[in-house]
Amino acid sequence: MPLAQASLGLVSAVRGPVVDVVFPETLPPIETVLEVEWDGDHPLTLEVHGHLDERTVRAIAFQSTSGLARGVRVNATLAPLMVPVGEAVLGRLLDVTGTPRDGGEPFPEDTQRHPIHGAPPAFDRAETGVSVFETGIKVIDLLLPLSRGGKAAMFGGAGVGKTVLVMELIHAMVEKYQGISIFAGVGERSREGHEMLSDMTASGVIARTALIYGQMNEPPGARWRVPLTALAIAEDFRDRSHRNVLLMMDNVFRFVQAGGEVSGLLGRLPSRVGYQPTLASEVAALEERIASVAGAAVTAIQAVYVPADDFTDPAVTALSAHMDSSIVLSRSLAAEGFYPAVDPLESSSLLLDPDVVGTEHYEIANQVRAVLARFRDLQDIISLLGTEELSAADRKTVARARRLKRFLTQPFAVTEGFTGTPGRSVSREETLAGCKAILAGETDDWAESSLYMIGTLEEARDKEKAAA
């Protein structure tokens, strides 16, 4: 990084990832970068987060400070963190500072760079039109349509399939839209990053994807700023190249969690449930930058871990306020083997509107919701007395609801190596046709298993014929 107008300081205190630096003259501004001149086995970059007095700043480290001593020289760059952007980052795995971590060649000196901090696009540049982003996943396209250029979140506890769903959506984006994908791995396991890099390389989609990781074993400063690094790369493709970008984040809760750690390290008093007092403003500063401008869109799909399956958690509610579509993953559905384990009654989408998706789609989706809601209401009676005690109309509703639940499952391309079943991508028209047929009673005499883990209704019809 160029050290234009650099001023020199000295480390005065080290408390884990928090480093105090004394400068003899002018203090560097907040959110600018400091570079440590030390003999450690890796470069050490700090970001200024507070002015303690007229001579001392408090900074957060992006790498481990193990071995750092007082009196070490520090250069103030007087500029925010600048990360490489453009075509050079495609096919690469980067850390929070934009340094390649995939064993490949370093970036050339003349690589275009962009600051990680920025403002949302002005309102007069924003694109106001709404268009549906088709994923090929039946339950999402039918009940929870995603917006091209919008924000969608997948809420779920541990082990219900958030990461698998994110990877399938990346696969769908590359296959269907031939767009750019930016993946931000925030506070996730090192194993998951290695697996994703291997899978993308093997499937040939890595050439149009950039991976940015701040993993679980890294300091909180790195995990806190990784989404901003990914966003800077996405904004460059949107504004300079005018290309559509799919921005994936797994897991945004870890961004909030890292912000809470940084807040505590800086000595701020915690707010409710122990979260940082700046929770709402930090989430807003990230989410408001995810926007579309005329001619190019950034579509964001974010996985959100729900601690202890508590959807009233302040971090979960702060994130959900910014979303166009909220996809809730259910532990009970996952336990029953319904994948993707999307709860159609708890999830919601602003795009499920007749003016956006059309009257037929809207009516079929509402009928599916009504049948599934009635089935849920009858669950207690069925558990106690069985279906025989229900009225004829309710028995018919239960039979169709059970078939709808099975029809809305499907195998994924990214799980083919584990299940041996090839993935299915289903168009919205085929999904609507299948649900319409089930609601009309065309499948009432079919075995429920014929509708489980399939693509289109024709595939179920073939299974039924083969069984007969």
Confidence category of residue 149, pLDDT binned at 50, 70, 90 = confident
Place 121 in a pLDDT band, splitting at 50, 70 and 90. Answer: confident
> With helix as H, strand as E and coil as C, how does the chain read?
CCCCCCEEEEEEEEECCEEEEECCCCCCCCCCEEEEECCCCCCEEEEEEEECCCCEEEEEECCCCCCCCCCCEEEECCCCCEEECCHHHCCCEECCCCCECCCCCCCCCCCCEEECCCCCCCHHHECCCCCEECCCCHHHHHHCCEECCCEEEEEECCCCCHHHHHHHHHHHHHHHHCCEEEEEEECCCHHHHHHHHHHHHHHCCHHHEEEEEECCCCCHHHHHHHHHHHHHHHHHHHHCCCCCEEEEEECHHHHHHHHHHHHHHCCCCCCHHHCCCCHHHHHHHHHCCCCCECCECEEEEEEEECHHHCCCCHHHHHHHCCCCEEEEECHHHHHCCCCCCECCCCCEECCCCHHHHCHHHHHHHHHHHHHHHHHHHCHHHHHHHCHHHCCHHHHHHHHHHHHHHHHCCCCCHHHHHHHCCCCCCCCHHHHHHHHHHHHCCCCCCCCHHHHCCCCCHHHHHHHHHHHC
Report the pLDDT value the prediction gives residue 131, as an integer from 0 to 100.
84
pLDDT digits (tens, 9 = 90+) for 381-399: 998 888 888 999 999 999 9
**Mean pLDDT throughout 291-311?**
89
Residue 262 has pLDDT above 80, yes or no: yes
* 2 confidence band (pLDDT: 50, 70, 90): very low
Catalytic residues: 162, 188-189
Q: For the segment 24-60, what is each residue's pLDDT rounded down to a tens digit?
A: 988 999 999 999 999 988 999 999 999 999 999 999 9
Average of pLDDT values for 250-257? 94
* Cβ count near 379 (within 10 Å): 10
Residue 345 pLDDT exceeds 90: yes
Q: What is the mean pLDDT of the chain?
A: 91
Predicted model pTM: 0.90
- Give the mean pLDDT of 151-179: 82
What per-residue confidence (pLDDT) applies to 231? 96
Residue 174 pLDDT greater than 80, yes or no? no
**What is the DSSP pairing of strand 73-76 with strand 56-61?**
unpaired
Tell me the percentage of the chain whose pLDDT exceeds 90: 71
